[in-house]
Amino acid sequence: MWVLSFTSSCTVEEVASGCNAVRFFQLYVYKKRDIAAVLVQRAERNGYKALVLTVDTPRWSKGGRHKEQDNGSNLEAYAKETMDASLCWKDIEWLKSITNMPILIKGVLTGEDGKTNLYFGCFHLFTYQH
């Protein structure tokens, strides 16, 4: 299995042509939704099997997991400028309207959000440990 980040230095097309693994596309939702829609459609056209929606990117905190990761890189400023911090559960409906790929949720922060995930028809969570 290969999960391609939207920030990859390779395009979805390049990875699709050179990778025989099952491919998922990791999406961060931009404030400009048309950019996200184009990326999702390109991934689907190129045989990606699922969309991994990252939902915790706008959640910067002094004690959270991003605390040590910025280190003067302005990563927090970039995320605030480009990523859609208003992303909410109802946006899953929008994503479902633009793709037939299953949607996996990455970055669920609470058990309650995990249950809400099911309500909106996303039956998969993508968990990780940084």
Report pTM.
Answer: 0.75
User: In terms of pLDDT, which residue wins out, 114 or 68?
Assistant: 114
Based on the residue annotation, tell me whether 130 is a catalytic residue of this protein. yes
| Percent share of the chain, pLDDT over 70 | 68
Cα separation values, 43 from 11, 15, 22, 69, 92, Å? 9, 10, 12, 28, 17
The domain locations on the chain are 2-126
For residues 45 and 42, what is the distance between their CA atoms, to the nearest angstrom? 5
Q: At what angle do helices 91-98 and 33-45 cross, to 10 degrees?
A: 40
pLDDT at 72 over 80: no
Cα dihedral across residues 94, 98, 100, 103: positive or negative: negative
User: In terms of pLDDT, which residue wins out, 72 or 41?
Assistant: 41
Give me the CATH topology for the region 2-126: TIM Barrel (3.20.20)
Residue 64: the pLDDT is: 47
Check 1, 119, 129, 130 and give the catalytic one. 130
The pLDDT tens digits of the residues spanning 11-64 come to 999 999 998 899 999 998 888 889 889 999 999 999 999 999 887 765 544 444
